Amino acid sequence: MNGLKFFVGNILPYIAFVVFLTGMTYRIYTWLKMSSPIITLYPVPKGSSTSAVIKEVLLFPSLFKTDKVFWGGAWIFHVMLVFIFIGHFRVVTDFPWLWNLLGMNKEAVDTMSMTSGGIAGLIIMITVIYLIFRRVGVQKVREISGFGDYIVMFLILAILLTGNAMRFFQHFDLSETRVYFAGLVAFTNPQMPANGLFVLHFFLAQMMIVFIPFSKILHLGGIFFTQTILKRG
């Protein structure tokens, strides 16, 4: 068990980072090599292509026109995902200057984090369950879904389950995680926190990081390129 924990906490993070960086570099290269299609959009889009792309990324208007229920689930999922991602910065480091600026003490910050993070964790888990049922239950979606799509969805669900379990049932020490991640960055072979749920959660997150460049989950990055090409075309 100690050997497995050492691999997950001290070796796998570097492997995951290299695979992610290599995969992302390749994907960006392929996007840049894409040529503009010879098409004419009608009606002609109003405004600049940049504003149109930003609007598509932030609000998903194309999806809203075709399936409003799916749009609601997908949009809430992405908003909560961004919120949770930002919240995870507290796991890596702290921002005392920000809390002082806002006039918040440690207890107030912890309460805010527990409340807002807990709500976001539950909401995003509900949306993921909805998206899984939609992928399985809607025939048209099921027909275009591959094995990798299901791996992504259940991997996300497992990450959320372990994350919520830590938040509500088995808390971990933030000071330990901050020392640990600082050690990873400094290559000092740090001691991984002993919390079993943290180890499992971090392992699942690393698997997701490895999988991202090679899966459809990267659509949010690709949309900047494809939408720009379409608007330009």
Query: In the CATH hierarchy, which fold is given to the domain comprising 2-232?
Result: Fumarate Reductase Cytochrome B subunit (1.20.950)
User: Cα–Cα–Cα angle for 52, 55, 57, nearest 5°?
Assistant: 110
First-last CA distance in the chain: 56
Tens-level pLDDT at each residue, the chain (233 residues):
588 899 999 999 999 999 999 999 998 888 777 665 555 555 555 555 677 777 877 888 888 888 899 999 999 999 999 999 988 998 888 888 888 898 998 889 888 888 999 999 999 999 999 999 999 988 888 888 888 889 999 999 999 999 999 988 888 888 899 999 999 999 999 999 989 999 999 999 999 999 998 887 776 665 655 555 555 55
- For residue 130, what are the contacts with CB-CB under 8 A and spacing of at least 6? 73
Global pTM value: 0.86
Write out the two tokens for 130: 């909805």
